[in-house]
Structure 1
Amino acid sequence: MTTLPPFRLEKHFSRWEFTARHHMTASDSETMSMAELLSLADDADREAWERLTLGYTETYGAPALREAIASTYEGLAPEEVLCFAGAEEGLYCAMLALLGPEDHAIVTVPNYQSMETLPVAIAASVNGVALRPENGWQLDIDDVRAALRPNTKLVAVNFPNNPTGATAEPSTFRALAALCAERGIHLFSDEVYRGLERQEDKRLPQAAELFERGVSLNVMSKAYGLPGLRIGWIACRDRTLLQRMEGMKHYLSICNSRPSEVLATIALKSRERILDRNRALCTRNLEELGAFFAEFADIYEWQAPDGGCVGFARYSGADGVEEHCRSLVEESGVLLLPSSLFVSDLLPVTLDRFRVGFGRKNIEAGLDAWRHHLLRKRGVIGASARR
């Protein structure tokens, strides 16, 4: 595999994530304290935590953790789960295990950068399938079918999507799985926002549940709001594939953090309570965000996403979205992600949008700073006004 290109989004976050006063583009849900999480533990997990020793764990993940993860899927066993140090490690290992230099892959655009750059670095060729704003960012199964080649080995999708928050229609997703099954293609499905859908009927089945070559990626970071645990996983009925990915992991993290495995097990056993809390917070924040964009409808175009905790708003100001995002963070401490960070080498990506997040508490403070920034620019309030 050739040298990978710079990770645009992560480089931007390295500069601003922990220095901006208002992180208004966070891609994770509100987290919780250790005390809050441990309060959810049953007697067995509380004892496991108190008796914890800091040794190595199994490369596949602790048995109790894999059992808890398997319980979130229909028809899967713990042996069909492989844990990783976050979702990125799982994605990396999967692409190396699924693709070779003679293969062809298909990925949705826009998407999280590594979902594209890894296949491009590994495979002989890669095609993008566009999620178009004029179509509500929906996946068109005919576009996938038209992109297929005799050597297609992988179709990679992400729903709810990052950065748009769009979710494919369940019937379309099932048709995609059926098409992949018919052609003997692996369907890699990034499902890290599953559980944060606005409506339950928008929640997709998990790829690993649908057929043997369905590969489901998930993590404790996004919908659960526990990124500091660094626990991700891949679920798949193709156990030979899991064995190949285990071999990749031997060169990377080798095993997960033992304390994190116990804490993730506690969270997964209380997943409905955690997800209910995070969905309620997203719902409240979406109302605040919708009212804000309506207040400045002359420069913003906004459609609430189907799920997840990020959306892709349009900016029509004369200065352009790049300058708009730059001035917001440098002058007012409001961090957004311009669409240039989601550009693709495969297909054009609209360059008049930015990613905004709504999964965390205290969104009002960020919106207040954002509003004051706009009003200062318009001369409505003095340049020295600060909030």
Structure 2
Amino acid sequence: MKIEDFKLEKYFAKYEFNTQYLLSISDCDGYSLKYVLDKASDDEISLWENLTLGYTEAPGSLLLRKAICQYYKGIDEGNVLVASPGELNFSFMNVLLDSHDHVIVVSPCYQSLYEVAQSIGCATSYWHPNSYSGNFDVSDLVKLIKFNTKLIVINFPHNPTGAYLTRRELNKIVDIAREQGIYIFSDEMYHKLIIADVEELPPISDIYEKGISLWGTSKTFALAGLRIGWIVSRDKILLEKILAFKDYLSICNSATSEVLALIALNNFDKFVPYNINKIKNNIALFKNCCARHHDILTFIEPKAGSTAVVQLNINETSLEFSEKLIEQEGVMTVPAEIFGFKGKNIRVGFGRDNFPEAIERFEHFLIKYK
């Protein structure tokens, strides 16, 4: 297969590790190894201290898959498959899709959510948000369905806009998919990062027999370095096919990462609430910044997740704006061109402790920019 370069990852590779302030990063500050181990039970510490660095079970360790099950309804460890999130998306689409299939994808989105399907040869249609409210209208999604639509790809909490569906809207999508026999792949990497007064959505695998839920430790738990994610589905035959595909990729997971992920999953309250509070505080800071610079910035507050999109009232491209910001102030944002988003926009991420310092630099730039 041939696949296009991953624009976002290329952009991060260029700037992420040599730019002081990452104003557009989508994850939260990673927890230290010491912090994770300090939260472990005696049994988990024993697992860690007696760990041997050999091959692990291909689907993921039994203990880890059982820990994952506590976040879902009516499943067992056989409904769970563990790998890196990107690998799971790549494997799932290659197993499910053929070149004659049609796929509907929420947009803008993380590039792999549409690029893998396109590399297979699938026709793709895009479900865009309302340009004024930033919300996604389910009736727009319905209009995109064709006779050969095999898969709908959704992502809520949405990266990059921070948009979220209501339970009624999600149920409507499920009803439509069930009627047409369409699979739903739900990228839920920001699951449980609820920052507004909205009802938390259930995983798609809880409410739809052809629903595939993707989650992991990178965003919600601030443990991106573990490279641990999982998909949950009631379709065990599909999972077996994905597992067979995995034999050509990672084969199995990192033994150390599995134990550390187990500790985090069993200690949700020690990892996630701090991230949520930090995101909320940083959003408040940014909201004030946008009020002071409303002639340049238009900001729709996110409802969930750790990112939002800011519209720029400028005479150049958002890419040119972002490059100047990096060069002059050492502050990195992701411009619309990198995310496949039309218009003059940048993504802002709210999960970093040094966000207040980054905002000071950002405002200094804006004052000069005027």
Fold shared per TM-score above 0.5: yes
**Structure 1 residue 350: Cα displacement:** 2.4
| Matching of residue 362 in structure 1 with residue 354 in structure 2 | yes
Partner of 1:9: 8
Any idea what the Cα deviations from partners look like across 1:247-282, whole Å, max 9, x if unmatched? 111111100000000000000001133111111111
**Structure 1 residue 318: Cα displacement:** 2.5
Q: Is the 8 A contact 1:129 1:144 kept in 2?
A: yes
Q: Is the 8 A contact 1:70 1:78 kept in 2?
A: yes
**Structure 1 residue 123: Cα displacement:** 4.0
Partner of 1:62: 61
More displaced stretch, 321-330 vs 56-65 = 321-330
| Matching of residue 162 in structure 1 with residue 159 in structure 2 | yes
Secondary structure of 1:323 counterpart: helix
**Structure 1 residue 65: Cα displacement:** 0.5
Partner of 1:37: 36
Any idea what the Cα deviations from partners look like across 1:11-39, whole Å, max 9, x if unmatched? 11110000111011111012111111111
Pick aligned residue for 1:98 from 75, 96, 101: 96
Partner of 1:293: 290
* Normalised TM-score (structure 1): 0.93
Measure the CA separation in 2 of the matches of 1:351 and 1:201.
28
**Structure 1 residue 295: Cα displacement:** 1.4
Q: Is the 8 A contact 1:180 1:187 kept in 2?
A: yes
Any idea what the Cα deviations from partners look like across 1:27-81, whole Å, max 9, x if unmatched? 1012111111111111111111111110110110000100011111111211100
The letter for the 1-side match of 2:26 is S
Measure the CA separation in 1 of the matches of 2:75 and 2:196.
25
Alignment of 1:270-289 (within 5 A): 270-289=267-286
Pick aligned residue for 2:219 from 219, 222, 231: 222
Q: Is the 8 A contact 1:153 1:185 kept in 2?
A: yes
The letter for the 1-side match of 2:90 is Y
Measure the CA separation in 2 of the matches of 1:316 and 1:272.
40
Measure the CA separation in 2 of the matches of 1:147 and 1:317.
33
Identity of aligned residues (%): 34
Measure the CA separation in 2 of the matches of 1:283 and 1:141.
27
Partner of 2:242: 245
Measure the CA separation in 1 of the matches of 2:342 and 2:150.
28
Any idea what the Cα deviations from partners look like across 1:287-318, whole Å, max 9, x if unmatched? 11111111111100012101111100011022
Q: Is the 8 A contact 2:290 2:298 kept in 1?
A: yes
Q: Is the 8 A contact 1:160 1:308 kept in 2?
A: yes
The letter for the 2-side match of 1:275 is V
Measure the CA separation in 1 of the matches of 2:309 and 2:200.
20
More displaced stretch, 119-128 vs 298-307 = 119-128
Q: Is the 8 A contact 1:104 1:123 kept in 2?
A: no
Partner of 2:174: 177
Q: Is the 8 A contact 2:94 2:120 kept in 1?
A: yes
Measure the CA separation in 2 of the matches of 1:202 and 1:236.
23
Q: Number of residues paired by the alignment?
A: 370
- After TM superposition, where is structure 1 displaced by more than 3 Å over at least 4 residues in a row? 199-202
Alpha-carbon distance change, 102 to 320 in structure 1, aligned in 2, over 3 angstroms: closer
Partner of 2:315: 318
Measure the CA separation in 2 of the matches of 1:38 and 1:322.
41
Alignment of 1:18-33 (within 5 A): 18-33=17-32
Alignment of 1:49-88 (within 5 A): 49-84=48-83, 86-88=84-86
| Matching of residue 258 in structure 1 with residue 250 in structure 2 | no
* Normalised TM-score (structure 2): 0.97
The letter for the 2-side match of 1:14 is A
Q: Is the 8 A contact 2:130 2:137 kept in 1?
A: no
| Matching of residue 116 in structure 1 with residue 114 in structure 2 | yes
Q: Is the 8 A contact 1:139 1:172 kept in 2?
A: no
| Matching of residue 376 in structure 1 with residue 354 in structure 2 | no
Structure 2 segments unaligned to the other structure (5+ residues): none
| Matching of residue 235 in structure 1 with residue 232 in structure 2 | yes
Measure the CA separation in 2 of the matches of 1:287 and 1:62.
40
Pick aligned residue for 1:133 from 131, 134, 144: 131
**Structure 1 residue 323: Cα displacement:** 1.7
Secondary structure of 1:290 counterpart: helix
Partner of 1:384: none
Secondary structure of 1:147 counterpart: coil
